[in-house]
Amino acid sequence: MLALLGTVVFVIIPSQMELATSFSFSDNWLEYPDHVGNPEYGCNCSSILQGDLRSLEQAQLLAITKDVRKKVLRSDDYYINATQNCRTFQSSRKYLMFSPSQEEEDFPLAYSIVVHHKIENFERLLRAIYAPQNIYCVSVDRKSATSFLEAVMSIASCFPNVFMVSRTVDVVYAAWPRVQADLNCMADLYNASTTWRYFLNLCGQDFPLKTNLEMVRSLKTLKGANTMETEQMVEGKRWRVRSAHHIVNGEIQATGKIKQPPPFNLPILAGNAYIVVSRGYVHSILYDEDVQRLAAWAQDTYSPDEFFWATVQRMPNVPGSSPPDAKYDLTDVNALARMVKWVWHEGTLYPPCHGHHVRAICVYGLGDLQWLLGRHHFFANKFDLDSDPFALHCLEWYLRRKTLADMHSAF
């Protein structure tokens, strides 16, 4: 059953839906409701995920009505108030406060989540990936609104395995602080628990495409290897690591100076900000002297998150790494970490975006879900409740039903 997910989508998704709805759940209170009175009522996720165009069109029209948007979108104050009673919050928001399987219990994961706005995007992401055996570090950009910070802290306080990072940073787009935010969470996670097996880093507009069980089973097959984009850097991007940059008034700017070559003639590889790596890789990031030299050298480069992790992945002696030879290059399409639709690849590598674009990245709409659920990636970026609340709702609906179905099939 699990091995079939990721083949032909229009065949598999209906069968998964039939499986998920065939059980008479004794714990149906954990399902996400689709009945009258629920804000998402009228959005037929089952039909949409089977490719029914009429249901898709009806949901798209419903999503833009003021009444639905008012009911669906929750504010910072909502979460600050709702978390005054944590047990009620966990129950009303339908968090899974138990491990669905022993297999998952025995294979805990560690997450870094870097956020700066859109509180409900964050909370629904946390709910989708939450499991009591995992551990979660949350880093809020120092520039964020006070109410947003308070809301995130309130949510985190309701879970013993969710905590705020010990050192916050002022995140700057395309600059070193974006890497530093994850590094700080890495250090906190590494010191907080000795049991987790893999580290995954997220931002607030990510969302999973797989259940926790599916991710665990995929990670087991890696046998300690890491998975991320890491390939030869094209000449048109080499200015990023050849020219020195600094931060001025919250923005990264070129200094006009040429940088020294990287330490010990290290080949710099291209990648992206999102990774899935073993505990051993994280140990190297934090304590390996050669990695520390690379980090020091990279701090005045442009967009270091798009080469730092990828370069470390090709360094000798890093656990789970691969050699720097081009034969070991891995693209973002083939890595497990993240599915991102870039506008210039639409129509060739993947179908057109059904939402809209921000910085050439597709912000997914409902029409993207059927295709997305056929990918092998763990997560997709970007989702935005403000632009399409039903895209997240149907993805949540599908994953929760699949989690419960898999849980019951184990008995």
State the catalytic residues: 306
Q: Which CA distances in Å does 218 have to 107, 159, 214, 388?
A: 11, 26, 6, 30
**How many angstroms separate the CA atoms of 315 and 382, rounded?**
30
3-state class of 81 per DSSP?
A: helix
Q: 311 and 268 in contact (C-beta within 8 Å)?
A: yes
How many angstroms from the chain centroid is the CA of residue 353? 19
Q: What is the DSSP letter of 261?
A: P
Measured CA angle at 59 (ends 53, 62), to 5 deg: 145
> Cα-Cα-Cα-Cα dihedral of 248, 249, 250, 251, to 10°?
-50
User: Helix, strand, coil % (nearest 5) of the chain?
Assistant: 45, 15, 40
Q: Which CA distances in Å does 377 have to 97, 199, 359?
A: 25, 15, 21
Q: What's at 361, amino acid-wise?
A: I
**How many angstroms separate the CA atoms of 298 and 292, rounded?**
10
| Residues in Cβ contact with 70 at an 8 Å cutoff, skipping those fewer than 6 apart | none
How many angstroms from the chain centroid is the CA of residue 122? 10
Q: 337 and 229 in contact (C-beta within 8 Å)?
A: yes
Q: Is the dihedral of CA 53, 69, 138, 87 positive or negative?
A: negative
Q: In sequence order, what E strands does 241-389 have?
A: 243-248, 251-258, 269-271, 276-278, 338-340, 356-358, 361-363, 379-381
| Residues in Cβ contact with 194 at an 8 Å cutoff, skipping those fewer than 6 apart | none
